[in-house]
Structure 1
Amino acid sequence: MAAVFCFRNVIFGGACKFKSANFLLFRNLEQKQVRGCASYVGKQRSEYDYDLVVIGGGSGGLAAAKEAAANLGAKVAVLDYVTPTPIGTKWGLGGTCVNVGCIPKKLMHQAALLGEAIHDAKSYGWQVGDNVSHSWENLKDAVQAHIKSVNWVTRVELRDKKVEYINGLGTFKDQHTISVTTNKGDRLLTAKYVLIAVGGRPRYPDIPGAVEYGITSDDIFSLNRPPGKTVIVGAGYIGLECAGFLNGLGYDATVMIRSIPLRGFDQQMANIVVAEMQDKGIKFLHRCLPKSVEKLDSGRLKVTWTDSDKNEFNDEFDTVMFAIGRRALTKELHLENAGVEVAGDGEKIDAVDEQSNVPNIYAVGDVLYKKPELTPVAIHAGRLLARRLFGDSAVTMNYENVATTVFTPLEYGAVGISEETAVQRYGEDNVEIYHAYYKPTEFFIPQKNISHCYLKVVAKRDGDQKVLGMHYIGPQAGEVIQGFSAAIKCNLTVKDLMNTVGIHPTIAEEFTRINVTKRSGKDPNPASCCS
C-alpha cells in the first residue's frame, strides 16, 4: 500500500501534463488505486486540509460534496460566492437552478398556466368573474420566499452531512491549493482533489446601454416592479420560456431572434413552438440584432435594432432582457496557476470522465465542454464522480439520451437526437420518421387550439427500428417524456412502442399509437380521439 501511495504522489505532485493514451493510462490506473484503498485514504489526511474542495455551490458541486462526505467518509469543503448582477441582484446557496433557473422558472410558468386555466374553467361550468387580475409583486414574493427556504435547507443539509460550507470566492494558487476570499479575510486551503462546479452567468451584448439598462434571467425572477412591455433578446430555451410566462401573466412580450429558435433542438419542433407562441400573442422579430438601448426621460427604454438587410428600427419598452447565452465562470478561477487547460471556446473544460488535464482536478455541470447544461446531468455526474474517487465504483456518466423539456406555453419535451442529426449521422434513406398530430381530451370543451399538438419518433429504418429520438409538443411534456427516456435507455424500438398498450385517455398514449411515417405521405391527423 505504501508503494501505491508513492506512485500516486508522483502523479499528482509533479507539473507533468499527461496526454493522449499515456494520460488515459495513468488516469485509469490512478482511479483504480483510489478505489482499491478508499477506506485507507479516508484515514490519511495529514498531507492536505481536505480530501475534496468543491468550488461552486450549485447542484452538481453540492451533489458530489454530499455524496463524498456523508456516504463515503471524505473530508469536504464547498466554496460558494455570488457576484451581484449589474443591477445588484444576488442570491444564496444552491446555484443557478434553485435561485435563478429551473425552480423560479417553473413556478412562474405554472402561474401563467393557472391564468389560462381560469379562463378555461368557465367552459367547464365554473363561475369565474370577468375581472381576473394578477399581482406581479405577490408572485415574486412567493417565489423568492420559496427560494430562500431552499437556501436555508441546503445549508442545514450540508451541516448535517458534515460538509464545511465557506461563503467565499475560491481561486487556484496551484493544483492542490485554493485561495479563498471571504468578508473575514483571505485563507488558503489544500485539497487532495478539487472539483470545479462554478457554472455560468448570462452574457450581455457589446452594445451601448446593454449592461446599464438591461437585465437577464439572473434578475427577472426577483424584479421589484412589474416587467411591463418587455423585449427578450435571444430565442434559446431561456428566452422563449421567459417570453411565454410573461405573456401568460398579461405582459406584452416580444422576442428578437438573431438566427434560429432553440438552437440544438429539432428545428421542426422549434418552429412549431414559435408558431404556438405567436398564436398566443407573443411577437417575434426574426433575423434581427440589437444596436443600442437608451433610457428616455419617461423612464422607458428605447431599443434600436437592425434586420438582416441592415434596415434600422426602434421601439420603446419597459424592460429589456438579454438571453443570448451563458459564459462559464472559469476565467475568474485563475486556472493557469494549476495548469488546467480550457477548450477551444476559451472558457469550458474539455474533461474526460469529468477529469481535466490535471489529474486531481475535475469539473461537472455547465463548465464542461459540449455536455448538456442541465441540472440533473450535473447532479448525477457529481454523485458518480464522488463514488469513483472515494468509493469502490467504476461507473462513469453517460451523457447520451438525456431528456429535457422547454417550458413554453405549450411545452416541448425531447429525448435522444433530432431529425436533422439522425439524417446527418445515418443518412436519409436509413432513418424513419413517425409523426402525428393529436387532440388532448382536455382541449375539447374550451375549444383550445390543437393545431400545434404534435409528436414524432426518430428511428432507424432497419430491423425492429431502434428509436433514436422522441419529440413531443403539448401539455405536461416533461411528465410525458420522462418515462419514455427510460425506455430509450433500454433500447426502445418502434415495434416495442406499437406493442405497448396506452393509458386512455392520456396524451402520453399517443406515442403508443404512432403509425404514420413522413415517407408514406399519409395524413398524420387523427380521425377521432380513439383512432
Structure 2
Amino acid sequence: MTTAVLTRPVRNLISVAHCIRLLRTQATVMLASENVLTMAAALGDAFCCQAVAQHLLLLQLIHSLDRTVCSHNAEEKYTKENYDYDLVVIGGGSGGLACAKQAVQLGAKVAVLDYVKPSPRGTKWGLGGTCVNVGCIPKKLMHQASLLGEAIHDSRPYGWQLGDPATVRHDWATLTESVQNHIKSVNWVTRVDLREQKVEYVNGLGHFKDAHTVVAVMKNQTERELSAKHVVIAVGGRPRFPDIPGAIEHGISSDDVFSLPNAPGKTLLVGAGYIGLECAGFLKGLGYDVTVMVRSILLRGFDQQMATLVGDSMVEKGIRFHHRTRPLAVEKQADGRLLVRYETQDAAGGATSTAEEVYDTVLFAIGRQAETGTLKLDSAGVVTADGGKSDKIDVNELDQTNVPHIYAVGDVLHGKPELTPVAIHAGRIIARRLFGGSDERMDYQDVATTVFTPLEYGCVGMSEEAAEAKHGKDGIEVYHAYYKPTEFFVPQRSVRYCYLKAVAVRDGDQPVLGLHFLGPAAGEVIQGFAAALKSGLTMKVLRNTVGIHPTVAEEFTRLAITKSSGLDPTPATCCS
C-alpha cells in the first residue's frame, strides 16, 4: 500500500466498499479485508483521531464485508460442484412463467416454484398468478358482463324486441361459474405448457437457504432444496387490509370477489385506486348497490383531471362516493350483514364526524404488498428497498437485485409499473440476456395502461401534472376535446364525460409527452397510439394523420383546440 493511499484513508475505504458491492467475488472480499487491516495498522493512533464520520464508515464497511462473505460462502461452495438448475424462478405468475419458458427455449434447465397461500377468507387458486386467477382476466370478464347489461338496455331503440329492459335480471352464480371455469382451463393449459416445454414445476413455497439455494416447502411440509446459477424473484403481491377491527374477519378483497358463492348485494368498496374503481364499476353494472369510500384522491398516480372525470362518470351511473372518509370498524350483525362505522373529515380538512351504515359486502382495495415476507431474503444477502424497510425490491437497469445473479420482475419491484405485460416483457428480456446472448434492457418508461371503469380510461406517457413539473407550465401545450361516440346517439346515452387530451412540448414539432382517453374501448384505442408515442410521435405528425371515420380513435387525429386558447372543446356534431 503506497504512502499516497495511506494519506487518503476515507477515500480508500469508500473505493473498497464500492468494489465489494459491485464485484462481489471472494478474492475481492479477501483483498478488501487485507486493505482495511493494513490501513488500520499503518495509521495506528492517527486513524483513531480521525473524524467520527470515518469511524462510522469503517463500521459500515465491516458490515458490508460480513454480508458479502455470507453471500460468497455460497458462491464458493458451488464453484466446486454443478448447480441443479441454470435458473430457478420463485413465483408462477405471468412474469415468472414468461422468463422460465423463454429460458428453456434457449437451452437452459429451469424450475418454477409456485404456491398460493389462501386469502383470509380461504380463497385459493391454481398456477398462473394474479392476472389469470384474481386479476386482469376475471376482471375483464366481469367488466364485459356489465357492458352487456348496458347493451341490453340500449338494444330497444336499435329494434331488438327483448321485453321490458327493467325486468332483466342478472344471475351472479352463472357468471362466477363461467369465469371460474375459464380460469381453471387456463390453469390446466399452463401446466401442460410447462410440461411440454420441459420447465419443471414445483408446487411449493420457496425461500432462500443461501444465495444459490432455494428451499421449496411442499404441502405436506417436507422440504426440497434446489441449487441454481441464477434466481428470479417473481412472487408478486397480495391485497392489504386496514388495521381496524373486523376488516380481516369480515371483509373481502379482489382475491375473493371473482369467486364469491353468493351475490355481493349492497357493497362498500374501500379504496379509490384502479382496482377499487373497476370492481365498483362492474358490480354496479351487474345491478348492485355500490358505494366507494375515498380517503384522499381517486386514481393516485394518474392524471388528476382524468381521474376526476372518471369519478364523475361513475356518479352519473349511480355509484355513490364518500370523500375524505376512512372506515373505523366492521361488525357482523345477527342477520349476517355488516355494520361499518366510518369517519369523515369536512371539506376544509378540519372537523371530523362519524357515521355508520349497513352493507352486505365490504371489499377492501387499499393497495397491495409484495410477497417477500416469507422469502428469507437475508439468507441470500438481498436487501429490499428503503434500506430494507420496504416489502418491495430495488433493481438496477438489468433487473438485478443487490446480489447480481438474483433478479426480480413484476409487482415485487419498487417504483415500477405493476402491470402484467410489463412483468412478461421484463421476464423474457432477462432470459434472453442470460441464455441468448442478448444485451436488451427493459424500458419501464411510457407504458400504456387502461382502467376498466364503466367508461374506460386509457393512457400512455406523462400526466399533465408530471409534464408541467418537468417542463414548466409555459413549456407544455395541452390539446383537448370532448367527443360524441356514434353508437351513443340512438340510445341517447350520455356523452358528457367522453373526453381526450394530448400533452405535448410547446416548441418545435411539439413532441407528444402523454395521451389520455376516456370513453368506450379505451384500451383498444390507446394501444396503437402507445406504439406511436414510443416511436417519437409529434403533434405535427398526429395532425397530419387521417383518421378512420366513424371511430372514437380518430378523435386524436382531430385535436386542434388547446387549453391555453380558452376555446370551447365541445363539438357541435359527430362530424364537426
Determine if the TM-score, normalized by the shorter chain, exceeds 0.5: yes
Please point out which of 459, 462, 465 is paired with 2:507: 462
> What is the aligned partner in structure 1 of residue 113 from structure 2?
79
Cα contact 1:414–1:471 (8 A) shared by 2: yes
Cα contact 1:351–1:362 (8 A) shared by 2: yes
Cα contact 1:12–1:359 (8 A) shared by 2: no
Looking at structure 2, the residues matched to 342 and 247 of structure 1 have their Cα atoms a distance apart, in angstroms, of 39
Q: Secondary structure at the match of 2:564?
A: coil
> What is the aligned partner in structure 2 of residue 157 from structure 1?
193
Rate the CA distance shift 1:47–1:12 in 2: closer, same or farther, 3 A.
farther
Q: Secondary structure at the match of 2:352?
A: coil
Looking at structure 1, the residues matched to 445 and 571 of structure 2 have their Cα atoms a distance apart, in angstroms, of 32
Measured after TM superposition, the shift of residue 46 of structure 1 is: 5.4
> What is the aligned partner in structure 2 of residue 387 from structure 1?
432
> What is the aligned partner in structure 2 of residue 319 from structure 1?
361
Rate the CA distance shift 1:82–1:13 in 2: closer, same or farther, 3 A.
farther
Looking at structure 2, the residues matched to 320 and 90 of structure 1 have their Cα atoms a distance apart, in angstroms, of 19
> What is the aligned partner in structure 1 of residue 391 from structure 2?
347
> What is the aligned partner in structure 1 of residue 285 from structure 2?
248
Q: Secondary structure at the match of 1:333?
A: coil
Cα contact 1:45–1:51 (8 A) shared by 2: no
Measured after TM superposition, the shift of residue 129 of structure 1 is: 1.4
Looking at structure 2, the residues matched to 302 and 51 of structure 1 have their Cα atoms a distance apart, in angstroms, of 53
Looking at structure 2, the residues matched to 460 and 13 of structure 1 have their Cα atoms a distance apart, in angstroms, of 51
Looking at structure 1, the residues matched to 469 and 509 of structure 2 have their Cα atoms a distance apart, in angstroms, of 21
Question: What aligned pairs does 1:163-202 form with structure 2 within 5 A after superposition?
Answer: 163-184=199-220, 185-202=222-239
How far does the alpha carbon of each residue in 1:331-366 deviate from its partner, in whole angstroms, 9 at most, with x for none? 210101111011125111110121000011000000
Measured after TM superposition, the shift of residue 310 of structure 1 is: 2.0
Q: Secondary structure at the match of 1:509?
A: helix
Residue type matched to 2:209 in 1?
K
Question: What aligned pairs does 1:145-294 form with structure 2 within 5 A after superposition?
Answer: 145-184=181-220, 185-294=222-331
Rate the CA distance shift 1:179–1:15 in 2: closer, same or farther, 3 A.
farther
Measured after TM superposition, the shift of residue 261 of structure 1 is: 0.3
How far does the alpha carbon of each residue in 1:494-517 deviate from its partner, in whole angstroms, 9 at most, with x for none? 000000000000000000000000
Q: Secondary structure at the match of 1:332?
A: coil
Question: What aligned pairs does 1:275-424 form with structure 2 within 5 A after superposition?
Answer: 275-308=312-345, 309-344=351-386, 346-352=390-396, 353-424=398-469
Measured after TM superposition, the shift of residue 529 of structure 1 is: 1.1
How far does the alpha carbon of each residue in 1:395-427 deviate from its partner, in whole angstroms, 9 at most, with x for none? 100001100000000000000010000000110
Looking at structure 1, the residues matched to 572 and 252 of structure 2 have their Cα atoms a distance apart, in angstroms, of 47
Residue type matched to 1:62 in 2?
L
Q: Secondary structure at the match of 1:483?
A: helix
Looking at structure 1, the residues matched to 180 and 87 of structure 2 have their Cα atoms a distance apart, in angstroms, of 31
> What is the aligned partner in structure 2 of residue 473 from structure 1?
518
How far does the alpha carbon of each residue in 1:230-266 deviate from its partner, in whole angstroms, 9 at most, with x for none? 0000000000000000000000000000000000000
> What is the aligned partner in structure 1 of residue 33 from structure 2?
none
Measured after TM superposition, the shift of residue 45 of structure 1 is: 11
Cα contact 1:203–1:324 (8 A) shared by 2: yes
- Given the alignment of the two structures, is residue 88 of structure 1 paired with residue 122 of structure 2, yes or no? yes
Looking at structure 1, the residues matched to 28 and 395 of structure 2 have their Cα atoms a distance apart, in angstroms, of 18
> What is the aligned partner in structure 2 of residue 48 from structure 1?
83
Looking at structure 1, the residues matched to 423 and 142 of structure 2 have their Cα atoms a distance apart, in angstroms, of 23
Residue type matched to 1:507 in 2?
V
Q: Secondary structure at the match of 1:511?
A: helix
Measured after TM superposition, the shift of residue 54 of structure 1 is: 0.2
Looking at structure 1, the residues matched to 549 and 264 of structure 2 have their Cα atoms a distance apart, in angstroms, of 41
Measured after TM superposition, the shift of residue 128 of structure 1 is: 1.2
How far does the alpha carbon of each residue in 1:160-191 deviate from its partner, in whole angstroms, 9 at most, with x for none? 11100000000011000111110241111100
- Given the alignment of the two structures, is residue 58 of structure 1 paired with residue 93 of structure 2, yes or no? yes
> What is the aligned partner in structure 1 of residue 59 from structure 2?
none
Looking at structure 2, the residues matched to 13 and 154 of structure 1 have their Cα atoms a distance apart, in angstroms, of 40
Looking at structure 2, the residues matched to 93 and 302 of structure 1 have their Cα atoms a distance apart, in angstroms, of 36
Looking at structure 1, the residues matched to 376 and 528 of structure 2 have their Cα atoms a distance apart, in angstroms, of 42
Looking at structure 2, the residues matched to 227 and 257 of structure 1 have their Cα atoms a distance apart, in angstroms, of 20
Structure 2 alignment gaps of length 5 or more? 1-22, 31-78, 346-350
Q: Secondary structure at the match of 1:303?
A: strand
Q: Relative CO higher for 1 or 2, CA cutoff 8 Å, sep ≥ 6?
A: 1
Q: Secondary structure at the match of 1:311?
A: strand
Residue type matched to 2:141 in 1?
L
Measured after TM superposition, the shift of residue 386 of structure 1 is: 0.3
How far does the alpha carbon of each residue in 1:142-167 deviate from its partner, in whole angstroms, 9 at most, with x for none? 00000000000000000011100000
Looking at structure 2, the residues matched to 168 and 214 of structure 1 have their Cα atoms a distance apart, in angstroms, of 28
Looking at structure 1, the residues matched to 456 and 232 of structure 2 have their Cα atoms a distance apart, in angstroms, of 34
Looking at structure 2, the residues matched to 90 and 15 of structure 1 have their Cα atoms a distance apart, in angstroms, of 46
Structure 1 alignment gaps of length 5 or more? 1-9, 18-43
Looking at structure 2, the residues matched to 477 and 234 of structure 1 have their Cα atoms a distance apart, in angstroms, of 23
> What is the aligned partner in structure 2 of residue 484 from structure 1?
529
> What is the aligned partner in structure 2 of residue 114 from structure 1?
148
More displaced, 294-303 or 179-188?
179-188
Q: Secondary structure at the match of 1:331?
A: coil
Looking at structure 2, the residues matched to 511 and 67 of structure 1 have their Cα atoms a distance apart, in angstroms, of 37
Measured after TM superposition, the shift of residue 133 of structure 1 is: 1.0
Looking at structure 1, the residues matched to 259 and 383 of structure 2 have their Cα atoms a distance apart, in angstroms, of 36
Rate the CA distance shift 1:240–1:15 in 2: closer, same or farther, 3 A.
farther
Looking at structure 2, the residues matched to 476 and 121 of structure 1 have their Cα atoms a distance apart, in angstroms, of 18
Looking at structure 1, the residues matched to 459 and 536 of structure 2 have their Cα atoms a distance apart, in angstroms, of 16
Residue type matched to 1:349 in 2?
I
Cα contact 1:305–1:314 (8 A) shared by 2: yes
More displaced, 110-119 or 351-360?
351-360
**Greater per-residue helix proportion:** 2
Say which one has the larger Rg.
2
Residue type matched to 1:341 in 2?
V
Q: Secondary structure at the match of 1:105?
A: helix
Looking at structure 2, the residues matched to 395 and 165 of structure 1 have their Cα atoms a distance apart, in angstroms, of 27
**Identity %, equivalent residues:** 66
Residue type matched to 1:348 in 2?
K
Looking at structure 2, the residues matched to 139 and 358 of structure 1 have their Cα atoms a distance apart, in angstroms, of 46
Looking at structure 2, the residues matched to 411 and 141 of structure 1 have their Cα atoms a distance apart, in angstroms, of 25
Please point out which of 431, 435, 439 is paired with 2:476: 431
Residue type matched to 2:356 in 1?
N
Measured after TM superposition, the shift of residue 16 of structure 1 is: 6.0
Number of residue pairs the alignment of both structures matches: 495
Measured after TM superposition, the shift of residue 132 of structure 1 is: 1.0
Measured after TM superposition, the shift of residue 440 of structure 1 is: 0.2
Q: Secondary structure at the match of 2:458?
A: strand
Measured after TM superposition, the shift of residue 13 of structure 1 is: 6.3
- Given the alignment of the two structures, is residue 144 of structure 1 paired with residue 189 of structure 2, yes or no? no
Looking at structure 1, the residues matched to 435 and 468 of structure 2 have their Cα atoms a distance apart, in angstroms, of 42
